[in-house]
Structure 1
Amino acid sequence: MGKIKVALAGVGNCASALIQGIEYYRKNPPSENGLTTGLMHPKFGNYAVEDIAFVAAFEVNRKKIGRDLSKAVFTEPNCVVKISDVPDMDVTVKPGPVLDGVAPHMRKVFNVYDKKRTKPVDVAEELRDSKADILVNYLPVGSSKGARFYAQAALDAGCGFVNCIPEFIASETEWASKFEEKKLPIAGDDIKSQ
């Protein structure tokens, strides 16, 4: 089996926790009885934690853009508890479009890039170039336009979509049908309900 190539839309606290958790379990594999403390399913079919590889990431925070993903996950305003060091991942965080994910009063706190100085990348093209299998949506709650933009980019690129925010996409017939037609996986909506 090959790697599961994952792209991230949003490099906030949830993405940081995911990346650190994967790194933690790489360093602490299951015991002889196949169990791992804190990880319910060390194997998913033929796949294990170490089979997950991050290949692309998109952000609007100018302090994260251009950095390696391993550094961006620890960049302010991220404040998740550090549980594991993360080695260089050779994944440069790219600018995603500024849509509805950041409220006007939070733009400064989230260090949103200046649209006059920074242009967003073509997300679908980046997904294709990185050969991503799955795009995980970790945009802020309330990112209705943003979630749909990234879902469409995943469709256009031919990769699956995991919607981790409470925005109806996977549970909406129209979106589910689009992914089904292309024989692409879609899951969600909202990581806490998984």
Structure 2
Amino acid sequence: MGKIKLAVVGVGNCASALIQGIEYYKKHGVIDHVPGLMHFNLGGYFPGDIEIVAAFDIDERKVNKPIREAIFAKPNCTQIFYPDLPDIPVKVSMGPVLDGVADHMKDYPDDKRFIPAKIEPVDVVKVLKEACADVMVSYLPVGSEEATKYYAQAALDAHVAFINCIPVFIASNNEWIKKFEEKNVPIVGDDVKSQIGATIVHRAITKLCMDRGVKITNTYQLNVGGNTDFLNMLNRSRLASKKISKTEAVTSQICHNITADHVHIGPSDYIPWLNDNKICFLRIEGEIFGNIPINLELRLSVEDSPNSAGVVIDAIRCCKLARDRGVGGLLISPSAYFMKHPLTQYPDEEARNMVEEFIEGKRER
């Protein structure tokens, strides 16, 4: 099947987990099931078929450094589960800063925040073309509206498939979808669901309540963590689309009316010593038979970045399948299953079946 040439925007914790995972799973032979993956073989592509050909960041500790060094540089703090990376002949290129760095970060210690390099950005489109990239994954910080639009346009100009992992609405915006359709460039988005994360668990329990006849009266989801994502999100002005994305992902599973006053979903606080560990506190209040009350509370603790990498590694391969088949525009099925804010919300089991049909070639998108 050949290689999948991948460009990465944002060499942070998520990129670190993904790149470590690509090498980690290379050691497995061609078998039917490998723990930790939804698909080892996805349409003939395996994790080890993904090849990093370009990377972009703005931090002085990463720019112009080999990618194998940059993914372990501060402020990255995710667990290192595969330290012995091979020589990857790619250095991190300086991208445009735009709105990628929140002002409040300058008030925090250097090893916790971004430190923008004082050099000119590269021509991103030129780098993508010279690298012959097939797919570009965007791991920009939440709230990076301008930067996300810049890289989305760069993907179009370079004819590179685009995966938008953050809650800036590109793949769920009809104007952007039309642009990708006109250029016949695949796009998946927006805002990646983790493998077993707060949103997918909240959706699953909400759907269970609906299927079992429970009326949900109140629900919240509070998340805390210590990585740069949580530090960035202390600036609440950057969270408008994040709140929409996470809230709609859950309320789309509720079949009855529930007002905004009775739903609270979103980040709660930054706790530095947690590093890349994310802790979710989830509560659902409802009524069962005879309007008798029922309350459910759940606590989920997980390493945040590997959790997202377990989904992105499939999204990358779905984009390559689409390219192989000459299919561009919005990939509806992968977006519905892998993302919190797709253009159209589907129940997760239905979305999973759609993805399986897409992989088998039974669905074009």
**Gap runs ≥5 in structure 2:** 194-336, 339-365
Give the SS at the match of 1:139.
Answer: coil
Quote the sequence identity (%): 53
Task: Find the counterpart in structure 1 of residue 24 from structure 2.
Answer: 24
Amino acid at match of 2:97: V
Task: Find the counterpart in structure 2 of residue 80 from structure 1.
Answer: 78
Asked whether 1:110 is paired with 2:114, we answer yes
Counting only pairs closer than 5 Å after superposition, residues 139-158 of structure 1 correspond to structure 2 as 139-158=140-159
Instruction: Provide the rounded CA distance (Å) in 2 between the counterparts of 1:30 and 1:14.
Output: 26
Task: Find the counterpart in structure 1 of residue 41 from structure 2.
Answer: 43
Counting only pairs closer than 5 Å after superposition, residues 45-84 of structure 1 correspond to structure 2 as 45-84=43-82
Instruction: Provide the rounded CA distance (Å) in 2 between the counterparts of 1:42 and 1:177.
Output: 32
Instruction: Provide the rounded CA distance (Å) in 2 between the counterparts of 1:110 and 1:185.
Output: 31
Instruction: Provide the rounded CA distance (Å) in 2 between the counterparts of 1:161 and 1:175.
Output: 12
Give the SS at the match of 2:80.
Answer: coil
| CA displacement at 1:105 relative to structure 2 | 2.3
| CA displacement at 1:28 relative to structure 2 | 3.0
Instruction: Provide the rounded CA distance (Å) in 2 between the counterparts of 1:37 and 1:77.
Output: 29
Instruction: Provide the rounded CA distance (Å) in 2 between the counterparts of 1:23 and 1:29.
Output: 13
Instruction: Provide the rounded CA distance (Å) in 1 between the counterparts of 2:19 and 2:192.
Output: 15
> What is the TM-score when the length of structure 2 is the normalising length?
0.50
Residues 26-74 of structure 1: per-residue CA shift (max 9 Å, x gap): 123454xx11011110011121111101100000001101111111000
| CA displacement at 1:156 relative to structure 2 | 0.6
Task: Find the counterpart in structure 2 of residue 95 from structure 1.
Answer: 94
Asked whether 1:169 is paired with 2:170, we answer yes
8 Å CA contact 1:29, 1:36 repeated in 2: no
Give the SS at the match of 2:104.
Answer: helix
Instruction: Provide the rounded CA distance (Å) in 2 between the counterparts of 1:87 and 1:144.
Output: 34
Counting only pairs closer than 5 Å after superposition, residues 169-188 of structure 1 correspond to structure 2 as 169-188=170-189
Instruction: Provide the rounded CA distance (Å) in 1 between the counterparts of 2:130 and 2:138.
Output: 18
Residues 143-180 of structure 1: per-residue CA shift (max 9 Å, x gap): 11010000000101111100000110011111111111
8 Å CA contact 1:67, 1:92 repeated in 2: yes
Instruction: Provide the rounded CA distance (Å) in 2 between the counterparts of 1:112 and 1:57.
Output: 16
Amino acid at match of 2:69: K
More helix by share: 2
Amino acid at match of 1:100: D
Instruction: Provide the rounded CA distance (Å) in 2 between the counterparts of 1:91 and 1:144.
Output: 27
8 Å CA contact 1:167, 1:190 repeated in 2: yes
Counting only pairs closer than 5 Å after superposition, residues 9-20 of structure 1 correspond to structure 2 as 9-20=9-20
Report the number of matched residues: 189
Give me the CA root mean square deviation: 1.2
Task: Find the counterpart in structure 2 of residue 130 from structure 1.
Answer: 131
Amino acid at match of 2:91: T
Instruction: Provide the rounded CA distance (Å) in 1 between the counterparts of 2:20 and 2:88.
Output: 12
Amino acid at match of 1:113: A
> What is the TM-score when the length of structure 1 is the normalising length?
0.94
Report 1 or 2 for greater relative contact order, CA contacts < 8 Å, sequence distance ≥ 6.
Answer: 1
Tell me which structure has the larger Cα radius of gyration.
2
8 Å CA contact 1:170, 1:189 repeated in 2: yes
**Gap runs ≥5 in structure 1:** none
8 Å CA contact 1:30, 1:36 repeated in 2: no
Instruction: Provide the rounded CA distance (Å) in 2 between the counterparts of 1:28 and 1:75.
Output: 27
Instruction: Provide the rounded CA distance (Å) in 2 between the counterparts of 1:26 and 1:20.
Output: 10
Instruction: Provide the rounded CA distance (Å) in 2 between the counterparts of 1:124 and 1:16.
Output: 23
Instruction: Provide the rounded CA distance (Å) in 2 between the counterparts of 1:54 and 1:99.
Output: 24
Instruction: Provide the rounded CA distance (Å) in 2 between the counterparts of 1:180 and 1:46.
Output: 25
